[in-house]
Amino acid sequence: IGFKFSSQTLSLNIILQEEYGLQLPDWTKEYYPEKLQFLAEQALIYNIYTREMQKIKAGPFLTKMFTEMKNKASNTLAPKERKMYIYTGHDSTVVNIMHALKVWKRQLPRYSAMLLVETHKNKETGEYYVELYFRNNPKEPAQPLTVPGCDFQCPLEKFVKLSADVVIDSDLDADRCKSKNEEFTEPPLRGP
């Protein structure tokens, strides 16, 4: 009987053991942290290596988030009093979203990793802008992130436009998950 795990799972478990003051097994000295962390980070990269993969993995969430932001800016968000959305997800989900927004720097996200996406209204101009923050360590403050091609306070329309290639368009993307192999036969559905 064996265990099935990934380099990410193993690395994060060793990090947690270390943080809780537990003695690490001798075998970890040869692999942790450098070799194992590299492999875990590489696995995250391969998971979302292309823009198409980013669209599939982060696109549905980003599409929802952008719609909510635009609804807030156009005063069509329901309920109108809503001030915040809070979403939780896995460490890999945070990386998928950050990578699709082009703000992820190679690092292994911890279990407590947090991406903050804030929408603000400029009181003077009435225009909406977005600020991003990332916190990978609960003992440290969140760090500001800047989307390439924009300022830290990125105008909402520009923010959405910079990631338009990963947004899901129901008409254009309807066939995205269909096989490109003409000889592919979909297996029959089997019920209970």
Which pLDDT belongs to residue 59?
A: 92
Q: What is the pLDDT of residue 19?
A: 86
* pLDDT of the residue at 8: 83
The residue among 101, 166, 165 whose CA lies nearest residue 133 is: 101
**Under DSSP, is residue 74 helix (H, G, I), strand (E, B) or coil?**
coil
Splitting the chain (192 residues) into consecutive groups of 10 residues, what average pLDDT does each group show? 77 88 93 90 89 92 95 93 90 93 91 93 97 94 97 98 91 67 70 50
The confidence score (pLDDT) of residue 110 equals 83
Residue pair 18/44 in contact (Cβ under 8 Å)? The answer is no
CB-based contacts of 166-175 (< 8 A; 24+ apart in sequence)? 166/51, 166/54, 166/55, 166/58, 166/59, 166/62, 166/100, 167/55, 167/59, 167/62, 167/63, 167/66, 168/55, 168/59, 168/60, 168/63, 173/55, 173/59
Question: For 164-169, which contacts have Cβ atoms below 8 Å and span 24 or more sequence positions?
Answer: 165/51, 165/55, 166/51, 166/54, 166/55, 166/58, 166/59, 166/62, 166/100, 167/55, 167/59, 167/62, 167/63, 167/66, 168/55, 168/59, 168/60, 168/63
Residue 174: the pLDDT is 61
Q: How far apart are CA 58 and CA 101, in angstroms?
A: 9
Domain ranges (residues) in the chain: 7-44, 51-166
Dist CA 131 CA 96 (whole Å) = 18
pLDDT of residue 177: 62
